[in-house]
Amino acid sequence: MLRRLRLVLIVALVLWFFSPPDLRDEIPIWLPFAAVLALEAQFVVSSWRSGAPLVSRDDPRPGMEDRHRYGDGRLPEWAITEDDEGTRHWVDITEDEEEAPAEPATAPPRRRRVARALVEAAAVVVAVAGLYLLLERPGWDDLGGDAQRSSEARMSLEASRVAGKPVRIECDTSGRHVGAVRHADGIAIVGGGLAYLTPELCYALERLAAHGEVTSFSQTARAIAVLAHEAWHLRGVANEGRTECFALQSGVRVARRLGLDEETARRMMRSQLVANQLHGAATAEYVVPADCVNRGALDLSPGVDRFP
């Protein structure tokens, strides 16, 4: 019974993790964890008090049907013997002493049962905690409506500066435009006025702009590069390789305005340039051209001896 309750509780906890944010806000995180801990504690206590094994063992002896068909493996009780005169007789060959009854199966020692229960309980708690750390990471959906609108306005301002005209950035929470299904972190119509970014990149930009926090070096660098990349598309540049080259250079200034120091901003964009060259075989159209180098034809600041 306790195992069934444990299974039901774990399924309910997983459903809670994947439920809409509004529903999760109504049920505090400590409540399902307290239920899990209480159930595991009850499981351990029951194992301590109970004298029966945690798992019933099957009877290793043959079943009744098999005994009738094949015998039970014991020696026969009667045999035919022949006397000196050649006469045959049935002789009872069973021993006088009755067979001692089999000792009943004993339950495992209490220490072993409790240790097993503790191991199972610890495994469940660790699995639930790992699931929480994996799924309950803060993200764009956890921000309030005002924070989301303020962040989108700030991203739109930075994109407008790169595009040279007023443009708008939206975070695509629906997944209809960008995301894992679309195999794109951002999208924009060349020369248009609207671009979409994934919520993950939007969250990284929000944490940097509003809190000066770098969620992770690679994620923040990627978010800045994609924002600048889509802004260059909105500016009218269609070629993906040239767009990426311009974006990595403009990304330094975008990162500075969002709060990073120049050295960190340049390191981030250089890391994106290296990633572009390493992964270029999979997305050849995004590979930056050969003249995307310091004082090359695509250098936006040829007078500065640093690139990007």
* pLDDT digits 0-9 by tens, 55-76: 455 566 666 776 666 666 665 5
For 171-207, the pLDDT digits (tens) are 999 888 997 556 789 999 999 999 999 999 999 999 9
Helix (H) or strand (E) holding 275: helix 262-278
DSSP lists the bridge partners of residue 81 as 89
For 244-280, the pLDDT digits (tens) are 999 999 999 999 999 999 999 999 999 999 999 887 6
The token pair at 269 is 């964009």
First to last CA, the chain: 64
CB 308 within 8 A of CB 249: yes
DSSP lists the bridge partners of residue 91 as 79
User: Nearest CA to 37 among 136, 115, 122?
Assistant: 122
Phi-psi sector, 49: left (phi>0), alpha (psi -120 to 50), beta: alpha
Q: Which residue has the tokens 């269609």?
A: 238
To the question of pTM greater than 0.85 for the whole model, the response is no
For 2-39, the pLDDT digits (tens) are 567 767 777 777 776 666 655 655 666 666 667 767 77
CB 276 within 8 A of CB 288: yes
The token pair at 226 is 């994609």
CB 193 within 8 A of CB 212: no
For 122-178, the pLDDT digits (tens) are 766 666 666 555 555 688 988 989 999 999 999 999 999 999 999 999 999 988 899
